[in-house]
Structure 1
Amino acid sequence: MSHNRRRRLVAPVALAACATLALGATPAAATGQPDGPALAKQLVKKVGVDGINRHLVAFQRFADTNNGTRAASTEGHKKSAEYIATKLAAAGYDVTRQEFPFTYSETLAEKLAVAGQAVPVIAMEYTKSTPVGGVTAPLAVVPVTAATGCAAADYGDVTGKIALIKRGGCSFAQKQQAAAAAGATGAIVYNNEDGALNGTLGSPADAKIPTGGITQAAGEALAKQGGASVTLELRAFQEARTSYNVIAETKTGRKDNVVMLGAHLDSVPAGPGINDNGTGSATLLETALQLGSKPKVNNAVRFGFWSAEEFGLVGSKYYVRSLGFEQQLDLALYLNFDMIGSPNAGYFAYDGDNSDNVGAGPGPYGSAQIEKTFVDYLGSKGVQVEGTDFTGRSDYGEFIANGIPAGGLDTGAEGLKTAAQAAKWGGKAGVAYDPCYHQACDNLGNIDRVALDRNADGVAWALGVYATSTETVNGVAPGKAVKAKAQRAAERGAQRHSLAAPSGNMDPHHTAA
């Protein structure tokens, strides 16, 4: 998952629990499936966690034999991409490798000391580097407003100082640009919610001064120490490189009403990225293999395995921008899956209708209907789903920017699980959904396979629903043959229901939920 990220060359502090932490959500009795097309029900039965896990084992081995990473442009990523591409080509899919340029970045140093006391800090992606040893300057606390630090006028005279800025109101890039315009020599942004703050400045061209992120608690403590001496060292290695996306499409189905699913394949340089985002990529691969390249569908299905997501969503942006307007119109919708097996899992669907009234607002028309598909399906399995905002942190960003309806699932990253969520889903309150987020310990031991299985079923269900019909999303009705087949299946189901009383609601795909 991009935007909030951790990248290191030096080994991070190991969390001993990461190797063994595998907290499942609280078991819930299966309550049957909602009404849906036959394809959706078949895919749910076919797509299983064992097949997905086999792909995750492959990703782990590609990382282990290639410097512990699957970052874009590395051999670990190339091996992962070719593993996917060759399997899908062998299954009969039309497969494309789409190459693109990007700026590779690895953090070399990230240190912050205030009045001699160390404060954990995370270098923002594409930050300008300080000299070795850092810079020392007075701390300038920027007054908190609705858009703190978004304009140079917010800072006053901060010439030669390091600005402390609260998150919110505008992008990190805009904040550090305003601070630089006001004369600051560095910027520290503190979170506006619990948890670490990892961020990106968007691109090397947008970076003006060394910029790092710290927690809300650390920021509020530092806000009381205006004028204190601060030493900030943030250094990163950057280099122009190329990588590539893998795109695969079914041979059957309408090509002017394509259902697209995507997940980023690359990890951060610091680790193998098995949860982030091996889980999403492995699930899409297994779902594609179980669907087959010539399914009986109304709409063609396209899969995108993105690269360089961890460097600013580069691969997915490049893909969408490479499409002409008519080609974009051919996309009925986009479904995104980024981290769906977090070890302290939450259950989240993108808030397409903005019913939570948080942050960015609703997605393009059709996004609300996509959200409902996921919420209803997982709800039918006894899993209560919460909304999550379209923050721009993952690969849906360029799709919704171009008016393409989008949705998807995730299980959480560095945010902390609340007590209410722990009571609802199981796991540990006050602990990150993924304590190994963007670290070397994001390995095969960092997965909740119960959550992964449930979300994989959600992926399979949504694919089956929309490959059959996107009428609820964009008004495009299924063809006559598909509609007639669905009607016959519904009539047979009604007849069976009338002949026998139900014997229970257990989903045959699971012996326990």
Structure 2
Amino acid sequence: MSARSGIRRVAVLAASASLALIAVPAADAAPALDGPALAKKLTKDVTVDGVNRHLIALQRIADRNNGTRAVGTPGFEASVDYVAGKLRGAGFDVSTPEFTYQVQVTDAAVAKVGTTTYENIPLTFSPQTPVGGVTGTLRAVPEDATPGCEAEDFAGQDFTGSIALIRRGGCTFDLKHRNAAAAGAIAVVIANNVDGKLSGVTLGQPGVVPTGGVSKADGTTLFGKAGQSITVDLRFHQQDKVARNVIAQTRTGRKDNVVFSGAHLDSVEAGPGINDNGSGSAGLLETALQLGGSPKVNNAVRFGWWGAEELGLLGSTAYVKSLTFEQQLDIALYLNFDMIGSPNAAYFAYDGDDSDATGAGPGPYGSGQIEKAFVDYLTLEKKVQVEGTDFTGRSDYGEFIAQGIPAGGLFTGAEQIKTPAQVLKWGGTAGVAYDKNYHGKGDNLGNIDRVALDRNSDALAWVTASYAISTEDVNGVPARASRVSARIAAKSSKAFATDAHHDHDVVS
């Protein structure tokens, strides 16, 4: 055999081997994902029992601290110490950077009809009333699936100079109060749609008219007093406080193409926050611990547990804004996990490409690919249908998106109502909130759908690990192995072409 023939044979064999690496499924084979070995292993290692152990820890921390893990309380500080301690033990580079935030200290929180006074808690970013409040006729917006979410909801009544009463649900508080203001209302009262106070909620941005919230029971009573005169007095002052985030990063992988996964760690004051957001925090923590601080990855993985999300995404916003433009460029993408075990669970993935056309628009380029990664895993591996959910600005992806960082994540639903069509897909109960204890005292260990928690924790692990190997579909950065294979294939192709050229010379 000549040397030239030997070269040609090696090239042909290399080309044949490359073709052999392409898996061709049987015509009748069920579709399945063929992810990297790391994703397969991590998904197997992250168990619902492991995740649940962290939920038990968070519940006990709340039990020892007046039933709450809200930012600014010992329960939140103990939660930070628990998470950071676990991560340090697993070999991560861990920090707990501080940020300063303002808390709204209430001076007046009143809705008064006749001689009866109701607690009416100002929403974060609400304007204040003058001392003594504002008075007008109480006008009730009709209750339906999306009360106050459309301008038409205010037709048929004169809201000029009135106080609008709107039931929670269906859209953001901000949209409700802006629609009311556009109709002429001088103040808004939001009635909770689940038992308990309406506390720890926000307009998300500076409001246009004073807006407060009452409990579900008080709201129902007020609906019966529509047409009567009501006085709303909402006043408060701001106070500076300091809180901590938890940031942990692997010691391995590229530091300029970081995969970032995050969840908020704080609860509302009313309860222990085991679904919101112990579920996301626990799933994220177990994924990090099973991954370990020095995994064999191409891209470094950074994990974040945010403080003061319940006060307006304050921890995540402060963190992202603290980064220079170059440091933000180092983040390839952000994955958010805020409630992944709701008791009447939905299966939502953030609608990165706006394919559901629900109004909020797409995320930065790459967000649609992230959405597809979650949808593919849940539909192909877990046989669960997935719906898109808007980037409404209600969770910690907000500032990442604002800075152009592609984002995605999972969500099992909050106070919104599950529909009959969704029950056919997912089970559960129609006409009931995805989480009937949302932001309430009842958000405890009994407030978790552990099947949903298991499925979503696996999806969290799968997608995080997959991007730790390659983010090529998001930003064009392939896995190291892919780059090596491409170089080998290119060299083999060049050798084959050269050999073929020489053979042509001989023949001619």
Superposed pair shares fold, TM > 0.5: yes
| Aligned position for 1:444 | 445
Q: Distance in 1 between matches of 2:307 and 2:181?
A: 32
Q: Distance in 2 between matches of 1:449 and 1:376?
A: 21
Deviation, structure 1 residue 464: 1.4
How many residue pairs get matched? 442
Deviation, structure 1 residue 69: 0.5
Q: Against the structure 1 CA distance between its residues 367 and 236, is the aligned structure 2 distance closer, same or farther, given a 3 Å change threshold? A: same
Q: Distance in 1 between matches of 2:475 and 2:420?
A: 38
Q: Distance in 1 between matches of 2:468 and 2:434?
A: 31
Deviation, structure 1 residue 35: 1.3
| Aligned position for 1:162 | 163
| Aligned position for 1:24 | none
Q: 2:77 is aligned with what amino acid?
A: K
| Aligned position for 2:499 | none
Q: Distance in 1 between matches of 2:404 and 2:253?
A: 23
Q: Distance in 2 between matches of 1:66 and 1:104?
A: 20
Please list, as runs of the form range in 1=range in 2, the aligned pairs for 1:17-416 lying within 5 A after superposition. 33-105=32-104, 123-127=122-126, 136-139=135-138, 158=161, 161-163=162-164, 172=174, 175=177, 179=181, 184=186, 186-188=187-189, 199-202=201-204, 209-212=210-213, 228-232=228-232, 239-380=239-380, 381-416=382-417
Q: Distance in 1 between matches of 2:451 and 2:127?
A: 42
Provide the TM-score with structure 2 as the length reference.
0.76
Deviation, structure 1 residue 237: 8.1
Deviations 1:410-454 (A, max 9, x none): 100000110111111111000011010000110011111111000
Q: Against the structure 1 CA distance between its residues 121 and 451, is the aligned structure 2 distance closer, same or farther, given a 3 Å change threshold? A: farther
8 A Cα contact 2:192 2:213, kept in partner: no
| Aligned position for 2:495 | none
Q: Distance in 2 between matches of 1:86 and 1:214?
A: 38
| Aligned position for 2:505 | none
Q: 1:297 is aligned with what amino acid?
A: V
Moved more, 100-109 or 393-402: 100-109
8 A Cα contact 1:148 1:166, kept in partner: no
Deviations 1:87-143 (A, max 9, x none): 11121111111101112347798665768999997642354667999764324689x
8 A Cα contact 2:174 2:207, kept in partner: no
User: Over alpha carbons, which structure has the higher Rg?
Assistant: 2
Q: 2:424 is aligned with what amino acid?
A: A
Q: Distance in 2 between matches of 1:403 and 1:191?
A: 34
1:82 partner SS: helix
8 A Cα contact 1:123 1:213, kept in partner: no
Provide the TM-score with structure 1 as the length reference.
0.75
Q: Distance in 1 between matches of 2:429 and 2:122?
A: 28
Q: 2:320 is aligned with what amino acid?
A: V
Q: Distance in 2 between matches of 1:292 and 1:252?
A: 10
Q: Against the structure 1 CA distance between its residues 105 and 146, is the aligned structure 2 distance closer, same or farther, given a 3 Å change threshold? A: same
8 A Cα contact 1:268 1:438, kept in partner: yes
Q: Against the structure 1 CA distance between its residues 55 and 482, is the aligned structure 2 distance closer, same or farther, given a 3 Å change threshold? A: farther
8 A Cα contact 1:417 1:430, kept in partner: yes
1:435 partner SS: coil
1:318 partner SS: helix
Q: Distance in 2 between matches of 1:115 and 1:354?
A: 48
2:97 partner SS: strand
Q: 2:56 is aligned with what amino acid?
A: V
8 A Cα contact 2:263 2:304, kept in partner: yes
Q: Distance in 2 between matches of 1:278 and 1:130?
A: 36
> Which structure is higher in helix share?
2
Deviation, structure 1 residue 359: 2.1
Q: Against the structure 1 CA distance between its residues 232 and 101, is the aligned structure 2 distance closer, same or farther, given a 3 Å change threshold? A: same
Q: Distance in 1 between matches of 2:340 and 2:44?
A: 18
Q: Against the structure 1 CA distance between its residues 172 and 403, is the aligned structure 2 distance closer, same or farther, given a 3 Å change threshold? A: same
Moved more, 295-304 or 95-104: 95-104
Q: Distance in 1 between matches of 2:87 and 2:95?
A: 10
Q: Distance in 2 between matches of 1:89 and 1:191?
A: 40
Q: Against the structure 1 CA distance between its residues 342 and 77, is the aligned structure 2 distance closer, same or farther, given a 3 Å change threshold? A: same
8 A Cα contact 2:210 2:234, kept in partner: no
Please list, as runs of the form range in 1=range in 2, the aligned pairs for 1:3-18 lying within 5 A after superposition. none
Deviation, structure 1 residue 233: 5.8
Q: Against the structure 1 CA distance between its residues 55 and 207, is the aligned structure 2 distance closer, same or farther, given a 3 Å change threshold? A: farther
Q: Distance in 2 between matches of 1:292 and 1:126?
A: 40
Whose RCO is larger (CA < 8 A, sep 6+)? 1
8 A Cα contact 1:245 1:307, kept in partner: yes
Q: Distance in 1 between matches of 2:403 and 2:214?
A: 30
Deviation, structure 1 residue 238: 5.7
Deviations 1:132-189 (A, max 9, x none): 99764324689x997689xxxxx9963xx53568999997299569959x893x3236
Q: 2:341 is aligned with what amino acid?
A: G
1:77 partner SS: helix
8 A Cα contact 2:192 2:198, kept in partner: yes
Q: Distance in 2 between matches of 1:284 and 1:170?
A: 26
Moved more, 119-128 or 316-325: 119-128
2:96 partner SS: strand
Q: Distance in 2 between matches of 1:382 and 1:108?
A: 51
Q: 1:340 is aligned with what amino acid?
A: I
Q: Distance in 1 between matches of 2:252 and 2:126?
A: 46
| Aligned position for 2:470 | 469
Deviation, structure 1 residue 213: 7.5
Q: 2:345 is aligned with what amino acid?
A: A
Structure 1 residue ranges without an equivalent (≥5): 1-30, 150-154, 488-513
Structure 2 residue ranges without an equivalent (≥5): 1-29, 142-147, 489-508
Q: Distance in 1 between matches of 2:478 and 2:433?
A: 42
2:88 partner SS: helix
Deviations 1:448-472 (A, max 9, x none): 1111000000001001110000000
Q: Against the structure 1 CA distance between its residues 421 and 175, is the aligned structure 2 distance closer, same or farther, given a 3 Å change threshold? A: closer
Q: Distance in 1 between matches of 2:31 and 2:171?
A: 43
Q: 2:76 is aligned with what amino acid?
A: H
1:242 partner SS: strand
Q: Against the structure 1 CA distance between its residues 383 and 483, is the aligned structure 2 distance closer, same or farther, given a 3 Å change threshold? A: farther
Deviations 1:309-364 (A, max 9, x none): 00000000001101111111111000000000000101000001111101210111
